[in-house]
Amino acid sequence: MLKVTVWGENVHEQQEPDVAERYPDGMHGAIAAGIKENLGDDVDIRIVTLQDPDHGLTEKVLTETDVLTWWGHTAHEQVSDDVVDRVYRHVLDGMGLIVLHSGHWSKIFTKLMGTSCTLRWRAEHDRELVWTIDPTHPITQGVPSPIVIDEQEMYGEFFDIPAPDELIFISGFSGGEVIRSGCTFRRGYGKIFYFSPGDQDYPVYHHKDIRRVIANGVSWANTLRPERSSPTLLRYDTNDFFNGEDYRGASER
Amino acid sequence: MLKVTVWGENVHEQQEPDVAERYPDGMHGAIAAGIKENLGDDVDIRIVTLQDPDHGLTEKVLTETDVLTWWGHTAHEQVSDDVVDRVYRHVLDGMGLIVLHSGHWSKIFTKLMGTSCTLRWRAEHDRELVWTIDPTHPITQGVPSPIVIDEQEMYGEFFDIPAPDELIFISGFSGGEVIRSGCTFRRGYGKIFYFSPGDQDYPVYHHKDIRRVIANGVSWANTLRPERSSPTLLRYDTNDFFNGEDYRGASER
Amino acid sequence: MLKVTVWGENVHEQQEPDVAERYPDGMHGAIAAGIKENLGDDVDIRIVTLQDPDHGLTEKVLTETDVLTWWGHTAHEQVSDDVVDRVYRHVLDGMGLIVLHSGHWSKIFTKLMGTSCTLRWRAEHDRELVWTIDPTHPITQGVPSPIVIDEQEMYGEFFDIPAPDELIFISGFSGGEVIRSGCTFRRGYGKIFYFSPGDQDYPVYHHKDIRRVIANGVSWANTLRPERSSPTLLRYDTNDFFNGEDYRGASER
Amino acid sequence: MLKVTVWGENVHEQQEPDVAERYPDGMHGAIAAGIKENLGDDVDIRIVTLQDPDHGLTEKVLTETDVLTWWGHTAHEQVSDDVVDRVYRHVLDGMGLIVLHSGHWSKIFTKLMGTSCTLRWRAEHDRELVWTIDPTHPITQGVPSPIVIDEQEMYGEFFDIPAPDELIFISGFSGGEVIRSGCTFRRGYGKIFYFSPGDQDYPVYHHKDIRRVIANGVSWANTLRPERSSPTLLRYDTNDFFNGEDYRGASER
């Protein structure tokens, strides 16, 4: 049973009637429904939002989470640094992370990338075509190439991210812009998938193919390691390869 | 004229007589001499240390720096977060960065990598062989494969870094351990080279080939862009590709 | 049910008594047994060798093969170019391929890599340590890091392969050499895993961990696409993204 | 002095009046002029074509060539396998190679890639925008992002190439398609740059920015190694790292 936590910022939905109408269960609700639609009984989904205590991301919740999905936009700055540090640690320890759309500028994504994660954008009803670049990858299975999104916000290059470990999708927009729209990254023992389609002003999270890709990403990001643990700095004696000693400070001899 | 700033922690040299004897001009002095030895009149070198005001890394100094080299070990925690943020911003804007040996655990390197940058280690006089993995790369020119270092601290995998953009060197130790010892990474408009050989307890920075590699790294990391600038998040009208507007907040329409 | 074909050169086993004693069922037999030991009833294994008609690799056999493993050494030149072309086509169409040890210099591997695939070597009973470089990867699950092989042939860098898509393992030898010993590559719709441990003069294919890695590689290399098909060159009308027309020659207008 | 050989197929120019009018000196002539325009006295250019003896690519010519550029389309099959093998060997030995546009389906490119190099296409006057993906790379210097090509043939994904070592440019077309239009690959000691803009039916090789990119590619692809040599398979004694012995067959002990 894959334990998924869907994190939603839940601000646009509360403040803008058109967003609330488009996403009556919140964007987090639509994202969760799309994962459930594809993974069914293999997945146990919990939804939490910015407004919950600790934004819903307590140590207990994260420990119980195999894969976390992240959608945020207008309130990135309201996310507590302590929570970000906690999520960061869990990713390095092996929790999967799916970062969606405007989550590109979230504290957690920029912290994991080590770059500004800036890009070019325009919300003018561009058509987005999502082209498969790696047809062998688990994340691209079961969707056409291209995925056609009739109306979407444009996100374009230069997208300031590290060169991804795997380039999965590239999107082209009717205005002519392009973006690396599906990218994977490993950090520590954790796997990260960034997927750019999705916006509060367009019904993208109701799109069957987009939902499939997100579900594929969730399945892929789940760690294969038997236990969650932290990468470590240990000293090993000569000919001991398996029993390192804890670090006791940089000046030890 | 390439403007290089060599940053030294300068603590071991002050506290441990054997290190002071091994590196009478400080490790920073040996690193600077190695760069000068190879790049000669093409380079203008400034040396600064942890003990200088702002650790010697003021806005003015960084603006005047094409490439910064970083050696730290026992005092990573004493480096001010403000200075780290300043260096980080300059790297994303195009300043080159060479991170040496124990700098793997520095605040600036872990911030740019987004990982723990932990590894396994042992200071027991291992022989290190530095093997060239990319013989076409500018950084590997002019040195034998392997570079033989008679005595060195062992650094071994698992080294918790993102998969490097380019894997330049792999080292093997007499104890049997291996490490990705030469790696490049792009972050924003900046180029980063991590090179693991070098330690306060061994005369590695007097080694002719190691000095050549560091100098090669400095030449390579220098930005090719005409001006330093920041990656940006801008809005572009349809059919305007060159004159983006500043971002005015996530809720703008 | 995963259909695996184990291809063996089967020459050393016939000509050298010590090899026949070490591998009484042939090296192909040991390789097949190791896959069966780990994948059990999930796998259906067929063994074929160089001496079979068409080397056992007819169109029918390849069509029925999800993943092919390849061990060859002394008789690379005896493998027919027609068979190599056939295997190549099936890999591009989605058949998985596991290339083992001295298979690095096989016709099929060099054809898929586009390089010489040369390396340095020595058969002098080195100890090989196989270090995990990507602990998140399915191929590295269930084995220690390092895997300890008490005696092995040394294979060392510079190994003339393209930079792998994923660097999974690096080996270090008691003599000090290192090699990228576990590497993945995508070609067309096919997935390829090269794994260097294994030799006719050492009992490496009886090693529990090595067998697990090979079995992991077999599972990973199996295509996820529903049908085997060829990458194509097609012409698409404007606004038609899904119904390309066959190519009719470079001079068509 | 960089010695460049520009190879032209020179068939469209001979057979189609509109191509001859568009490219009165041949496409090879325009490509050579663009390199000269940017590199000036630093470069010595030789032009050869398919119709020359040995297609102009004798052992002598290739030995004297630092970087070879390749444009072919309608006559890929007329290129002799012997010449392709010769070029291939020189690339592995360190000769740079720039493959342009329809050269994606040439014998030399598919041999170096190990894939089909197929893609989707349409010659219907699409506008192509060439977006910089790696702003730190020497090949992207001195051109705007995007480069605007008013009319071009469309080349789109899925482009069946190995994941490039560096993804330099992505193009978007007015029809919505995208392609990885600028890619680098290392093979042996050689550096390869594929750049997709350019077609016989459009004046792309007269475009100032396209000419700059090609010239940048030529500069980048020039080997840095002091002499051309082949990757080798050699045996090394224990503790000898520099004096390998020639290979004498797979059965030697």
Each residue's pLDDT tens digit, D59-116:
999 999 999 999 999 999 999 999 999 999 999 999 999 999 999 999 999 999 999 9
Q: What are phi and psi of C216, to 5 degrees?
A: -60, -40
This prediction's pTM:
0.98
Which residue in the set A138, A166, A186 is minimally distant from C136, CB to CB?
A186
What is residue A95's three-state secondary structure? coil
pLDDT band per the 50, 70, 90 thresholds, residue C219: very high
Element housing B86 (H / E): helix B81-93
Hey, are the CB atoms on A177 and D172 less than 8 Å from each other? yes
R_g of chain A, CA atoms, integer Å: 19
Please, are residues D145 and D135 in contact by the beta-carbon 8 Å criterion? yes
Query: What is the residue-wise DSSP string for D49-85?
Result: ETTSGGGG--HHHHHT-SEEEEE-STTGGGS-HHHHH
What is the token pair recorded at A119? 């890009």
Q: Does A190 touch chain C (CB under 8 A)?
A: yes
Q: What are phi and psi of C211, to 5 degrees?
A: -60, -40
Q: Does B17 touch chain A (CB under 8 A)?
A: no
pLDDT score for C253: 41
Distance CA A123, CA C73 (A): 59
pLDDT band per the 50, 70, 90 thresholds, residue D251: low
Residue B107 has pLDDT above 80, yes or no: yes
The residue whose two tokens read 């050549």 is B212
**Positions of chain A with pLDDT under 70:** 250-253
- Supply the angle between the helices D208-221 and D26-39 in degrees, to the nearest 10: 70
Q: What are phi and psi of B121, to 5 degrees?
A: -150, 165
Paired with B245 in beta bridges are B235
Other beta carbons within 10 angstroms of residue C66's beta carbon come to 20
**pLDDT tens digits along B37-46:** 999 999 999 9
Please, are residues B185 and B113 in contact by the beta-carbon 8 Å criterion? yes
SS3 content of chain A, % helix, strand, coil (to 5): 35, 30, 35
Q: What are phi and psi of C132, to 5 degrees?
A: -75, 125
Which residue in the set C134, C141, C241 is minimally distant from A146, CB to CB?
C241
CA distance B36 to chain A (A): 29
Can you list the alpha helix ranges (DSSP code H) found in chain A? 12-15, 17-22, 26-39, 59-63, 81-93, 107-113, 208-221
Measured between alpha carbons, how far apart are the two ends of chain C, in Å?
Answer: 47
Q: Does A163 touch chain C (CB under 8 A)?
A: no
pLDDT band per the 50, 70, 90 thresholds, residue D250: low
ipTM of this model?
0.96
Instruction: Enumerate neighbours of C (3 or more CB pairs within 8 A).
Output: A, B, D
State which amino acid sits at residue B212: R
Q: Does C182 touch chain B (CB under 8 A)?
A: no
Residue of A nearest to B160 (CA): A188
- Return residues 234-253 of B near D (CB < 8 Å): 241-242
Residue of B nearest to C134 (CA): B158
Residue C216 has pLDDT above 90, yes or no: yes
With 0-12 / 13-18 / 19 or more C-beta atoms within 10 angstroms meaning exposed / middle / buried, residue D198 is buried
CA angle in degrees (0–180, nearest 5) for B70-B221-D184: 140
**pLDDT tens digits along D139-189:** 999 999 999 999 999 999 999 999 999 999 999 999 999 999 999 999 999
Distance CA D110, CA C112 (A): 10
CA angle in degrees (0–180, nearest 5) for B82-B85-B91: 145
Q: Does D149 touch chain A (CB under 8 A)?
A: no
Q: Does B135 touch chain D (CB under 8 A)?
A: yes
Distance CA A72, CA A7 (A): 8
Mean pLDDT computed over every residue of chain B: 96
Hey, are the CB atoms on B176 and C174 less than 8 Å from each other? yes
Element housing C128 (H / E): strand C120-132
Q: Does B60 touch chain A (CB under 8 A)?
A: no
Instruction: Enumerate neighbours of A (3 or more CB pairs within 8 A).
Output: B, C, D
Closest to A46 measured CA to CA, from A81, A9, A11, A2? A2
CA distance A161 to chain B (A): 7
Using a CB-CB cut-off of 8 Å, the residues of chain C touching A191 are 136
Query: What is the residue-wise DSSP string for C130-157?
Result: EEES-TTSGGGTTS-SSEEEEEEEEEES
Using a CB-CB cut-off of 8 Å, the residues of chain D touching C13 are none
What is residue C42's three-state secondary structure? helix
State which amino acid sits at residue D138: P
Residue of C nearest to B134 (CA): C158
pLDDT score for C70: 98
pLDDT band per the 50, 70, 90 thresholds, residue D253: very low
What is residue C190's three-state secondary structure? strand
Distance CA A44, CA C61 (A): 42
What is the β-pairing status of strands A96-100 and A190-195? parallel
Closest to D169 measured CA to CA, from D209, D206, D208? D209
pLDDT score for A249: 72
Please, are residues D64 and D33 in contact by the beta-carbon 8 Å criterion? no
Distance CA B136, CA D187 (A): 9
Element housing C110 (H / E): helix C107-113
Element housing B57 (H / E): none
pLDDT score for B250: 64
Using a CB-CB cut-off of 8 Å, the residues of chain D touching A118 are none
R_g of chain D, CA atoms, integer Å: 19
The residue whose two tokens read 């799109």 is A207
- Peptide linkage before D241 cis (omega within 30 of 0): no
Exposed e or buried b for every residue in A81-106, given b needs 16+ CB within 10 A? eebbebbbbbbbbbbbbbbbbbbbbb
Q: Does C223 touch chain A (CB under 8 A)?
A: yes
